[in-house]
Structure 1
């Protein structure tokens, strides 16, 4: 496997073009609806766009991002080769444990920086240095600096095959996996397809396509499972329009979002507000600069359209398990109160060996950004058994 060092550098003319587009935003007419009721609030969006155009310092963000050791690798599997961007940070401890963490949408490798500090150098945060990790954070195909796949089929299953090959190429014969959102699906696929290499997986989200085969005679739905399925369906009807668009007509949405940074900010900002434990005030959890660093990665790489492709692929290859089918590596689940779904433990136990379950006191969908201390402590506790 060929590996090159990677360093971000966006050309000056790309930064100038972004600012010109932001300043020339053609604003949609306001409606009489209350703020945020029908999507991104116009006043909040205008403030963010103005900050992005005139206050946000991309070069400072770029310097900070380049402090993380980043690489590009040519990763080959039976499905062909794929160029993969990834962070590979070594742990500070007597025997760091190897771990691959996968992001989701609308996130990126950026969302794990605070978590990496805590995982790779636990002693700096008052934890045991024996709990240090070597952490690999790849960018999903079509996200950030990982090129989009040249061929169809890049579902969570194919990505898992690439991550397994990447970890082997880095010298890790056995490792753990962690993820939320799309990254949870990749982690599940890793455990399902590569149990000979994956010790266990830690999840803070359950993919909506996960569906065990239920034998109504022997294992009918419990009341808690019935409530969960009803709540999931209600959420999909009221809040899941974005995912349905991504999974069915991604290129229609991409045409506008790739051309308008204000539109991209609206598409992302509404999700960071709705899915986080922020009580409706985004800046309680995420500064403008934090939001804009992630947004700028999508903008400068032109990856919003290709990032949607995985929704299309996952719709064609959902997580469906046959009767009696089990995922062998053990699973830990951290359930955050403001996450977009809240499966009961029994729903996972139909397929997974759940050995650790944590109901978190606070936090939402972006757990690594919102509550890095809570998430890191839970991960240390789970993966300690494999050291």
Structure 2
């Protein structure tokens, strides 16, 4: 991509992948040198060899390597320069009057691919069994270093800088009132927007809220071998959340620690498609279990093997495996810490999220809490895996702000 980040105009964009890049991807997948099988019968050592070999077989033979390109080019995409960096984004205006503008931020190892199946239901509810009164204009930007947004050539693009860029983007699009939503990294960016509280921002929604009290955050962060017994005085829901986070910090955050400390060491992500795929699949135990099922032929909800490979293929072809990981190095905020949100806030708690935020913590973290719902199903990649459920939550969460 040419370095045109100084051009602040809004320019139409379409994906055009050279055939030579497609052919080289297929060649590299087929030439993978495989290790031995794991020595356990579960996923405790990482992504199973059988899963990766089936992924590689399907990727190189049956999967349409231009599927993600076709899907992205079916929606309006644009580029604009913000702070010297080209930002890629999807922008779909609703056909219904008085639609509420909404900016959605993805996470890692996801991307804008996560949101493709919710754009239609959000922008045109009647076409998907909903009410036109719940319509949104939808903006989905790619975080710098992800997909087709430019890769930062210098430090400084942390979640706070990204929040400022998104505020600038919504202003440039002419929106004088809007709401914001995010999960994973998107939750951090959205929380920061809610703390900055620009006048145009009516409210936010998070499916991975930052609610961890400071004293508990310190206890978790200062002992990577485990925080020991939970503090006394916690309710049942609070103890459950503390235990979930303690397990995550000690057993499930290895990828984040590596990218937080040494992202430039991960050259395999740029050299081997299968190395990249394995790294992206092993985000958290529940998601990995679902993805393993997808490649076993029994996908859980919407996270099919094609959806998974759309995201991985785009990441490979844009060579953003390492640049996306640098966001962990840039970040100085606690993933689950309170960010100081003051605008109206809505929270959906999914049972397969990294942790289930207790209502007691949520009310303190978001003093203007307008919506809180604990669901009986749903996952970390909420929009990607359960688009109907995610859409319903956003409609309900923002209904009072219209």
Q: Same fold (TM over 0.5)?
A: yes
Corresponding residue SS for 2:388: helix
> What is the SS of the residue equivalent to 1:328?
coil
The separation in 1 between residues aligned to 2:134 and 2:289, in whole angstroms, is 28
Deviation of 1:306 (Å): 0.8
Deviation at 1:319, TM superposition (A): 6.9
Q: Where do residues 257-336 of structure 1 align in structure 2 (5 Å cutoff)?
A: 257-271=269-283, 274-275=286-287, 278=290, 281-282=293-294, 283-285=299-301, 286-314=303-331, 316-318=332-334, 326-336=340-350
1:359 partnered with 2:392? no
Tell me the equivalent position of 2:392: 377
- Return the offset for 1:231: 2.3
- Partner secondary structure for residue 58 of structure 1: coil
Equivalent positions of 1:7-18 (< 5 A) are 7-18=14-25
Tell me, yes or no, if the aligned pair for 2:51 and 2:292 is still in contact at 8 Å.
Answer: no
Which 5+ residue runs of structure 2 have no aligned equivalent?
A: 1-7, 217-231
Q: CA deviation at 1:92?
A: 2.2
Which structure dedicates a bigger proportion of its chain to strand?
1
Residue 11 of structure 2 is aligned with which of 4, 7, 13? Answer: 4
Change (3 A) 1:159 1:14: same
Q: Give, in angstroms, the shift of residue 327 of structure 1.
A: 2.2
Q: Is the 8 A contact 1:277 1:338 kept in 2?
A: no
For residues 160-192 of structure 1, the C-alpha deviation after alignment (integer angstroms, 9 at most, x for no partner) is 000000000000122100000000000001111
C-alpha separation in 1, matches of 2:175 and 2:215: 34
Alignment partner of 2:181: what SS?
strand
CA RMSD, aligned part only? Answer: 2.2
Question: For residues 235-250 of structure 1, what are the structure 2 equivalents within 5 Å?
Answer: 235-250=248-263
8 Å contact kept, 1:273–1:281: no
The answer (yes or no) to whether the contact 2:105–2:142 under 8 Å persists in 1 is yes
The Cα of 1:32 is off from its aligned counterpart by 2.3
- Distance in structure 2 (CA, Å) of the matches to 1:134 and 1:163: 15
Could you tell me which residue of structure 2 aligns to residue 349 of structure 1?
363
Paired residue total: 373
Decide whether the 8 Å contact of 1:155 with 1:317 is kept in 2.
no
Deviation at 1:386, TM superposition (A): 1.9
Structure 1, unpaired ranges of 5+ = 215-219
Aligned mates of 1:252, 1:211 — CA distance in 2: 33
TM-score, normalising length: structure 1: 0.91
